[in-house]
Amino acid sequence: MSSTGLLCVLGLLFSAGDALRCIDCVDLSGRFCSGSPQTCPADQDVCLSTLVQYEINSTNPKIQNILQSIGGVSPLTFVRHCGYSEACVEGVIFRTPDIKIVTRNHCCNSDVCTPETPTALPDSPKNGITCPGCFQTPGDSCREYTPVQCRGSEVQCFSYTNLRLYENVTIAMAGCATQSACNLELQEDKRKTLCTGGIISAAGGISSSLLLLTAALLIITV
């Protein structure tokens, strides 16, 4: 073997040895889980503990159809996995007319470390901001909007279209969000959540720029 070839092999060995390893597991009841260590991709630099909360208005027939299509959703899901340090934020909240999604991440960055376990976030008081909201399938775009009253740190109005949930099931959604929910890739297609900001009226009521949101949706679907 040439000296160049040997250096290449040694480089691969040392790169593999230096890669971060994290526990990979899922618990659909929201409880702490454990599993086998997995070697993280080179660009993922932290181990994450993630708690996802779903609050769903299952009385809405449209939501019932979605839940039947995807086989239901657990109210709390706990996940340990490799991830990016950008995900180490206090909380990400999406609120639509019928579904609220909260994601909390805790991180650590040493080999096979155990991040702190996130806890569920209680609902906050209304903050006087209202956004146009939707949650519908098929998810090419939102065609009808229902006002959504934002709470706590939800100071942005967001939208996302053609989110693939399962096989051919897609949704479009819009509503209130935290600042941390803006500009996120929800799936690997390089599209990101779009935020337009909430506007508080002088009378204390809330309105958002529906015109801006509609224009943004048109940009996304072009």
Could you tell me which residue, 125 or 62, shows the higher pLDDT?
125
Residue 122 has pLDDT above 60, yes or no: yes
Give the residue-averaged pLDDT of 62-71. Answer: 64
pLDDT value for 23: 96
Q: What are 36's two structure tokens? A: 């086998």
For residues 180 and 145, what is the distance between their CA atoms, to the nearest angstrom?
23
> What's the CA angle centered on 102, arms 100 and 104, to 5 degrees?
175
Residue 218 has pLDDT above 50, yes or no: no
Q: What are 93's two structure tokens? A: 């909240």
List of domains in the chain: 20-122 (2.10.60.10), 124-222 (2.10.60.10)
Give the residue-averaged pLDDT of 125-137. Answer: 91
pLDDT value for 6: 39
Quick one: which of 148, 139, 138, 26 has its CA closest to 94?
148
Among 68-82, 93-107, 189-203, which is the least confidently predicted range? 189-203
Q: What is the pTM of this model?
A: 0.73
Instruction: Say if strands 46-56 and 169-177 run parallel, antiparallel, or are unpaired.
Output: unpaired
- The type of residue at 17 is G
pLDDT value for 46: 95
Give the residue-averaged pLDDT of 190-208. Answer: 57
pLDDT value for 72: 60
Distance of CA 124 to the CA centre of its chain: 19
